[in-house]
Chain A
Amino acid sequence: MPQTILTDQVTSHETTGTKHHPPFEADRAIEKEANARIDQYPAEQKRSAVLPLLHIVQSKFGYISSDAIEWVAAKLDVEPIKVEEVVTFYPGLRQHAPGKYHIRVCRTLSCAMGGSYELMDKICELAGINRSQTSHHNPVAVSPCGTWSVEFAECLASCGSAPVCLVNDDFHEDLPAEKASELLESYK
């Protein structure tokens, strides 16, 4: 693997979506939420709360910055690398800012048969997104205005109503490419 891919994987960089997300800050509300999650695990097993804490960070700040990794590590009394190795493993955790609306289109078999690649093409066309630089290492592509970002997801478990996608936390199904503009309009 070239060094650039490795570097790209373990550091965050600015995207056009950055402006839609506040910079990381551990305020009292987040501390409280985090402590409540930590309490769900046996006292000597605090490390178990790494995913819940990372989810709190990502949902509030859009992505997981290195500051956030250090904060999570400190909360759980582990070295930052123990948090970072988790962040870099899971496809659901991001180190770069997505758009204001992050769209995950399912590309797995049943959705692909139902036309999800066409749906992705259409969304990219409407949102002005160029996916040509994306790969499995850096799956998220953000529109120039920062409003939209897209990525292919692996099986969203709704194969019977293919093709499907997630827009932030909202699930949409039975969504052929013709309905892409209607979908984007509903978020404007």
Chain B
Amino acid sequence: MPKVTYIEGKEPDEREHRLIFRNIDRKGWNPSLKKYLSDGGYKALEKSLQMEPGEVTQEVKQSGLRGRGGAGFPTGVKWGFIPPGNKKPVYLICNCDESEPGTFKDRYIVHQDPHQLIEGMVISCFAVGAKLAYIYIREEFPEAARIVENAIKEARKAGFLGEKICGSDFSCEFYVHRGAGAYICGEETGLIESLEGKRPYPRIKPPYFPAAMGLYMCPTIVNNVETLCHVKHIIEMGGDSYAEIGTPRNTGTRILCVSGDVQKPGYYEIEVGKMTMGELLNDVCGGPLEGRTFKAVIPGGSSAKILRCSDTYNVSCPPGTDKREITFDEIPLDFDTMAACGSMAGSGGVIVMDDSRRMSWVLNNINEFYAHESCGQCTPCREGSTWMKKITDRLVAGKASPADLDTLESVAYQIDGKTICAFGEACSWPVEGMIDKFRDELLTDTAEDHAAVTRNPEQKAQRRYLKGVGAQVGSS
């Protein structure tokens, strides 16, 4: 069986706008340098080396690029946070710890098109003045680590990396650093601690903003894989031309990862804000499964609050105009409207649930993830994430009392905003969102006759599992 997903010649949907994913599944494509060069590779790097580092940063600022890792923070602005007159070494870290449930875009870039990432990274290193960069790859991508290390070797040999890159005065070196299966390493300060060889306990901001006090207490820029790839295209086409893709304040393309109950799950690269939720799910993804209807969608990775498909949303659409009522299908896929709808575009992981799913089961699955992944540094999160899981264990087992839902909600609000890093929000938002939208359903799940939960075979399997391991089902 193949180790790398590669569906040769799989055509993108005609409504897609492929920039970053142009070479993904492309016929005759492979991750070698030779292939990349034959397609005009490393031209953007050569172009950038003719510019001043400040000009490169300026192009990125003008492009309006917002980070694709989850927070959506403007990349150029982040780069600008390096203290002026800094004398310490500057580091760049590529965050390839892709671990937000529902997100699977970086996987394909590092497996199939590693040189695009390396080119984007060298340009970024040049812009911020970094001479050493690390690519932090999650442990669960062993093949990707090998592919990227090989690509680094190829690039070094060809003079795109190492001493005096492309004959210029700029030198820089890259290494792969593999994680070890911890979600918290996707948080930038946790990642830095991990890279320093410690437990990845996130640092508190302020004062530990990585751009000022990052790796080894030196200025450090941490960017997502997809973000760094965009830098290459921004230099190639110029910041202003890039900004014409997508919509104002939500520029460029982004890769949406659709999974769950749809006909055609997968990765789709679209212009930000130019496609609606309805177009994505019904047209591009082929609609719900046979005989089913869409019930709810988590639009930006499992920590985003859930949206109910039957709701209307009172938002400014397009952003900047007067508020109006729009249906779920009309929500444009951008950062700002998604936030106005009460959720977030996050990492672009769209998880779809149809009417066969019981929300207590969904929430319990999410809670188990966060209970497992809390790093344990802050008490509200360490204790709270496990409490929330224990309560939803009872919901799923049909052994909860109506008061449990209030307890669940109260625990969530006592974590949210009270922890060092954003994991507190990541684990409490799904709970808050679910109770907000599906309180009635969750309440019926607390009733004695809990027949509906076993409607899905998978749900049955999970219930069997919960019983089998003697998890805290109804134990308190």
Report which A residues bind B (CB closer than 8 A): 40-42, 45, 47-52, 54-55, 76, 78, 82, 85-86, 89-93, 104, 107-110, 112-118, 120-121, 131-132, 134-136, 153-162, 166, 169-173, 186
A-B pairs with beta carbons under 8 Å apart, 18 shown: A51-B179, A76-B197, A86-B199, A91-B372, A92-B140, A113-B357, A115-B458, A117-B465, A118-B457, A131-B469, A136-B371, A153-B181, A155-B101, A157-B107, A162-B259, A169-B143, A170-B3, A173-B5
A116 to B98: give the CA distance in the assembly, Å: 20
The verdict on A154 contacting B462 (CB below 8 Å), with A159-B265, A159-B351 known, is no
Nearest-neighbor residue (CB-CB) of A118 within chain B: B461
Q: Are A55 and B107 in contact (CB under 8 A)?
A: no
B128 CB to nearest A CB, Å: 18
The verdict on A172 contacting B181 (CB below 8 Å), with A76-B197, A85-B199 known, is no
Nearest-neighbor residue (CB-CB) of B103 within chain A: A157
Residue B180 CB within 8 A of the other chain: yes
Question: Number of residue pairs across A and B with beta carbons under 8 Å?
Answer: 177
The residues of B that contact A153 with a CB separation of less than 8 Å are 140, 181
Q: Are B195 and A48 in contact (CB under 8 A)?
A: yes
Q: Are B461 and A117 in contact (CB under 8 A)?
A: yes
The verdict on A54 contacting B302 (CB below 8 Å), with A48-B195, A155-B369 known, is no
Report which B residues bind A (CB closer than 8 A): 1, 3-5, 98-104, 106-107, 132, 138-143, 175, 177-183, 194-200, 216, 257-261, 265-267, 302, 349, 351, 353, 357, 362, 365-366, 368-369, 371-373, 375, 457-458, 461-462, 464-465, 468-471
The residues of B that contact A120 with a CB separation of less than 8 Å are 461, 465
A114 to B194: give the CA distance in the assembly, Å: 32
Q: Are B178 and A157 in contact (CB under 8 A)?
A: no
From A109, A159, A162, contact of B362 by CB (8 A): A109
Q: Are B365 and A86 in contact (CB under 8 A)?
A: no
Q: Are A159 and B465 in contact (CB under 8 A)?
A: no
Q: Are A186 and B1 in contact (CB under 8 A)?
A: yes
The residues of A that contact B468 with a CB separation of less than 8 Å are 131-132
Q: Are A157 and B99 in contact (CB under 8 A)?
A: yes
Q: Are B458 and A134 in contact (CB under 8 A)?
A: no
Q: Are A157 and B462 in contact (CB under 8 A)?
A: no
From A85, A110, A117, A172, contact of B351 by CB (8 A): A110
Q: Are B470 and A132 in contact (CB under 8 A)?
A: yes
The residues of A that contact B181 with a CB separation of less than 8 Å are 90-93, 153-154
A36 to B199: give the CA distance in the assembly, Å: 23
The residues of A that contact B362 with a CB separation of less than 8 Å are 109
A89 to B257: give the CA distance in the assembly, Å: 29
Nearest-neighbor residue (CB-CB) of B181 within chain A: A92
Q: Are B266 and A160 in contact (CB under 8 A)?
A: yes
The residues of B that contact A155 with a CB separation of less than 8 Å are 99-101, 183, 369
Q: Are A47 and B462 in contact (CB under 8 A)?
A: no
Q: Are B104 and A160 in contact (CB under 8 A)?
A: yes
Q: Are B258 and A160 in contact (CB under 8 A)?
A: yes
Q: Are B372 and A112 in contact (CB under 8 A)?
A: no
Q: Are A166 and B351 in contact (CB under 8 A)?
A: no
